[in-house]
Amino acid sequence: MEWRDRAIILGVRRHGETSAVAELMTRERGRHLGLVRGGRSRRQQPVLQPGNEIEATWRARLDEHLGAMTVEPVALRAALLMESPLALHGVQLVAAHLRLLAEREPHPRLYDALAAILEALDEVAGLPRMILGFEVALLEDMGFGLDLECCALTGAREGLAYVSPRTGRAVTAEAGEPWRDKLLPLPVLMTEEERMIPAGEEAGQLAQGYALTGHFLARHLWEPRNLPEPAPRRAFLAACHADGQGA
């Protein structure tokens, strides 16, 4: 068995004295592991860093084996990540989310979203919105997508203000008024009326957005697996707050 493909490094762990097991995200093969012999060498360590894009070649006698992997650098981003806590924690958070996926199960949309996030690291101010969008896409790919296009009660597409904490469906302010204390706020930036957000209110909107996705991530993905909220998510949200971007 053999394949060769572009991949993004999610993480690396030691294996023996000199080797390492690399955890990659590929577009067509999903999250994939492989043994990199000599992966702890001075030459390989700068390549095997989270966020780096590589050309990977994987070989194994049987498909279910861990397999041996060789890697060639394509885009090295470790130095750029070290310059920004927001970017560093953001990439660590996306990697933590991707570890919820079954190994070797393709999720091309999530791969493309990760690649777009990495391409935007020079403009870290946009990362909170991009990673919020990634969490929405993750829920959808895992079968727990939010329905934010129209009101669950009236079918209206404008004036959406709440989300049911049970069904993940949106409700307008008027239709949801009798149950407003039991509903989750829906930030405007997650609706088609996004253009109406005043400049000074984006931080609060992001905080509402992450509270919303956090509720459903906990309900559907973390709690059923007896997992806490990932530490990188808490660190990322703290970095957002420190940068004045709410969340």
Q: Which of 59, 76, 93 is the last residue of a domain?
A: 76
Same domain, 135 and 71: no
Position 177 pLDDT exceeds 70: yes
Point out the domain boundary residue: 76, 111, 140: 76
pLDDT band at 196 (very low <50, low <70, confident <90, very high): low
CATH number assigned to the domain comprising residue 20:
2.40.50.140
52 and 88 part of one domain: no
- Residues in CB range of 79: below 8 A, 6 or more apart: none
- Span 20-24, mean pLDDT? 97
Residue 239 has pLDDT above 90, yes or no: yes
Q: Is residue 157 part of a domain?
A: no
The CA angle 202-205-207, to the nearest 5 degrees, is 110
Q: According to the model, what pLDDT value does residue 197 have?
A: 63
Residue 171 belongs to a domain:
no
Classify residue 180: in a domain, yes or no. Answer: no
User: What pLDDT, on the 0 to 100 scale, is given for residue 198?
Assistant: 67
Q: What's the domain range around 104?
A: 81-148+186-242
Higher per-residue confidence, 196 vs 32: 32
Q: Do residues 130 and 95 share a domain? A: yes
Residues 41 and 126 in one domain: no
Count of domains forming the chain: 2
In this prediction, residue 245 has a pLDDT band, given cuts at 50, 70 and 90, of low
The answer on pLDDT for 211 being more than 70 is: yes
Which of 47-51, 119-123, 166-170, 230-234 shows the lowest mean pLDDT across its residues? Answer: 119-123
One domain for residues 15 and 72: yes
Instruction: Count the Cβ atoms, other than its own, within 10 Å of residue 59.
Output: 14
Mean pLDDT over each residue of the chain, to the nearest integer: 93
129 C-beta neighbours (distance < 10 Å), count:
18
Query: Are 140 and 224 in a shared domain?
Result: yes
- Determine the pLDDT at residue 78: 84
Final residue in a domain of this structure, among 24, 52, 76: 76
DSSP assignment of 110-179: HHHHHHHHHHTTT-GGGHHHHHHHHHHHHHHHTT---B-SS-TTT---SSEEEE-TTT-BEEEHHHHGGG
Question: Model's pTM, two decimal places?
Answer: 0.93
Among the ranges given (75-84, 96-105, 173-182, 213-222), the one the predictor scored with the smallest mean pLDDT:
75-84
User: Residue 170 domain-assigned?
Assistant: no
Q: Does 176 reside within a domain?
A: no
Clarify whether residues 96 and 58 are in a common domain. no
- Residue 80: the pLDDT is 86
Of 133, 97, 102, 113, whose CA–CA distance to 209 is shortest? 133
39-70 pLDDT, tens digit per residue, is 999 999 999 999 999 999 999 998 889 999 99
Determine, yes or no, domain membership for 213.
Answer: yes
3-state secondary structure 171-214: EEHHHHHHHHHHCEECCHHHCCCHHHCCHHHHHHHHHHHHHHHH
The reply to whether 23 and 90 lie within a common domain is no
Instruction: Assess whether 115 and 233 both reside in one domain.
Output: yes
Same domain? 105 vs 208: yes
What average pLDDT does this structure show over 148-163? 95
| pLDDT above 70 coverage of the chain, percent | 95
Residues 30, 128, single domain; the answer is: no
3 state DSSP class of 54: strand
